[in-house]
Amino acid sequence: MAKPKLSLAFSCFSLKRPFVSAVISRAIEAVMIAENIPVTCEINVLVTDDEGIRAVNRANRDLDRTTDVLSFPMFQLTPGEKIDDWKPYLDPETGLCPLGDMCISLQRAEAQAKAYGHSLRREIGYLTIHSMLHLLGYDHMDDGPQKAQMRKREEEIASTIPGMKRN
C-alpha cells in the first residue's frame, strides 16, 4: 500500500491538534490497507467546529445544519470492488489519485465521544473511517444492505487500530 498524501487543515483552535492529526492519519492509512488501495491517494481534510461544518454543509449541500462529518468523493466508486487499472483515476500532473475531501467537526466529535461513552480517539477515528469509506463508494442512504455493509466495514477497520475498538 502506498502512503496517502494527506492535506490537513484546521479552521478552529485546538490544543489537541497533534493528537487529532495523528488519529486521522492512522485511520486513513488503516482504510487504505483494508481496502487494498495500491496507489498514492490525495485526501484533503478540514477539521473545524460546528459553525464551520454548518457553513460547509450549507455551501455544498444546501443544508443549513451542523453535522459530525462531511465527505466529498472525487469519483463514483463501487464499494469493495477491486480496481484493476487505476490509471484513469490518477492526476496526470502529480501521479496521485485525488480521492476526495472530508470535513470533520471536532466540536461535534468531542460531544459525541462523551455522549457515547468512548474516547475522542475512537470518535475521530470512526468519523475518519466513515468518511474514507464514502470516498471509496460506500453509502448508507438506505436502512438496508448498503448501510449494514458500511457499518460492518467501519467496525472491521476500527478494530484493527489500537484504541478504536468499540467499548
25-70 pLDDT per residue, tens: 999 999 999 999 999 999 999 999 999 999 999 999 999 999 999 9
% residues pLDDT > 70 (the chain): 95
Residue 128: CB partners within 8 Å, gap ≥ 6? 23, 24, 27, 28, 31, 45, 69, 102, 104
For the cut 80, the answer to whether the pLDDT of residue 144 exceeds it is no
Residue listed under C-alpha cell 472491521: 156
C-alpha span between 165 and 167 (Å, rounded): 6
